[in-house]
Structure 1
Amino acid sequence: MPNVLRNRAAVAALVLVSVAVAGCTGETPGTPTPTPGTSPSSASSVAPEDPNVPKVANPLDASAFVGDVCKLLPDAAAADLGFTAPGEPKDESSNPGCSWGIRGKADSLLIILGSGNREKGMGGLAGLHKAKKAGQLRFLEPGPDVDGYPTVYYGIQDRRAGGNCDLAVGVADDLTVNTLAGGYDNEQDSCGTAQKLASAVIKTLKGA
């Protein structure tokens, strides 16, 4: 895997791990919440406590993809985004993921399913907002709805101007799918690709 893609995956994993742990110790506080997997739970019907966090009107079930996140982006959809090589499963955090790269180019894609954050009670866009308030994220900004689902741009810092875009889409009130596009020339290309990636994932979830 190209170094650029490896670095992007490591940064994304670090950000998502920070949402689910206390401080920077790397220790998970307590035990996971008793709601396993990623099927929509009763929490999905409860409005987020933070009024700035949009509610997900039509939660999606991602449980079938916890074991293979790469299936969230079908080969044809990946090819439409310019990626023809198979995705590579990622295991850098408690949240499973999959990455795509292009040989000889810096362009990269990464999908992270926030099932680990959900099990720890820090899932969904609400979890990212909590992490921002706690100082674990320095950057969090509302993004455009994608196919009717709310999003945020997030990160340890805002790197969009450098062609790296980290987008989290709330597919349930307690679950996000994070779509990252890196190695592009500018913010428009990277964030446009991240949004298209999110749309492809939502289409897959709706068809599951």
Structure 2
Amino acid sequence: MPAYSSYPHRTGAVLILTAVAAGLLAGCGGGGGSASDNSSYTPNASPSVDPSLKVAAPLPTQGLLENPCSALTDAQLKDLGLVSPGKATQGQPALCGWSGEIQENHVNVGAVPQNNRGISDIYDQKSRQAYFQPVTVGGYPGVLADTQDGRASGSCTLWVGITDQLAFAVATSITTGENKANSCTSAQHVGEAVIEHLKGAA
């Protein structure tokens, strides 16, 4: 069965991911400003990265940053049980949301360039998270983490480092169907698909 034959309401998931990104930005000095203000973002020439979190094979990021709806192909969306086209949000972080075959369910994908130490910035906020579970996604360092634990109600947030300076997030909000109890597994399936697509663009 497709991972997202039962996905969440897009607006709610966007709010979840935006709130998480804002919280991380507030606690990290690397990005500066807020999640809605990218004007002060200046990449660090050589950011300090935990050796265990270094990305051995960085992936291309320009497409994901410029158009988050390009993160998944139509074929991948179909396999995941998501409906094309996605809908991009305005402002920062730039997100794309897709509904599931059950319209009440959605997934959102986006990168947060203000956190210019990639997945290391997420790890730095471990003490502030309601849940924190390190994972590997398609061979890349990741973590399931959020400041609020909505997993019982079908919400889960996954972060994946694709360069030492950038991580992308997948936020699920599965309010209906059997995948509601497996929202984090569903998030990892989407993350793996994004990695696969980015590898193809390398």
**Same-fold call, TM > 0.5?**
yes
Q: Is the 8 A contact 1:144 1:150 kept in 2?
A: yes
Aligned to 2:189: 196
Residue 156 (1) aligns with residue 136 (2): no
| Cα displacement string for residues 48-79 of structure 1 (whole angstroms, at most 9, x for unaligned residues) | 2xx7x622221212112322110011111011
Partner residue, 2:132: 141
- Matched residue, 1:28: 33
Q: How does 1:48-67 map to 2 (within 5 A)?
A: 48=50, 54-67=53-66
The answer for the alignment partner of 1:80 in structure 2 is 79
Cα separation, 2, equivalents of 1:186 and 1:84: 16
**Contact 1:22/1:28, CA 8 A, preserved across alignment:** no
What secondary structure sits across from 1:117 in the alignment? coil
Provide the secondary structure at the position in 1 that maps to 2:162: strand
Once the two structures are TM-superposed, the CA of residue 130 in structure 1 deviates from its matched residue by 2.4
Give the aligned partner of residue 124 of structure 2.
Answer: 130
Verify the 8 A CA contact 1:5 1:182 in the aligned structure 2: yes
Deviation at 1:112, TM superposition (A): 1.3
Worse-matched range after superposition: 99-108 or 153-162: 99-108
Aligned residue type for 1:71: S
Contact 1:140–1:152 (CA<8 Å) still a contact in 2? no
One-letter code aligned to 2:114: G
Runs of 4+ in 1 over 4 A off after TM superposition: 184-188
Identify which of structures 1 and 2 has the higher relative contact order when contacts are C-alpha pairs closer than 8 Å and 6+ apart: 2
User: Which amino acid in 2 is paired with 1:55?
Assistant: K
Structure 1 counterpart of 2:166? 175
Question: Could you say which residue in structure 2 is the equivalent of 1:106?
Answer: 104
Secondary structure class of the residue paired with 2:11: helix
TM-score calculated relative to the size of structure 2: 0.79
Sort the Cα spacing of 1:148 and 1:62 in 2 relative to 1 into closer, same or farther, 3 A: same
Question: What are the Cα deviations for residues 172-194 of structure 1, in whole angstroms up to 9, with x where unaligned?
Answer: 22211111221154565312211
Deviations 1:66-114 (A, max 9, x none): 22110011111011111123100023x5221100113753221100112
In structure 1, the residue matched to 2:13 is 8
Equivalent in the alignment of 2:3? none
Contact preservation (8 Å) 2:155, 2:171: yes
Deviation at 1:35, TM superposition (A): 2.6
Q: Give the paired residue count.
A: 187
Name the % identity: 27
CA RMSD of aligned residues (A): 2.9
SS in 1 for 2:171: strand
Q: Could you tell me which amino acid in structure 1 is paired with residue 15 of structure 2?
A: A
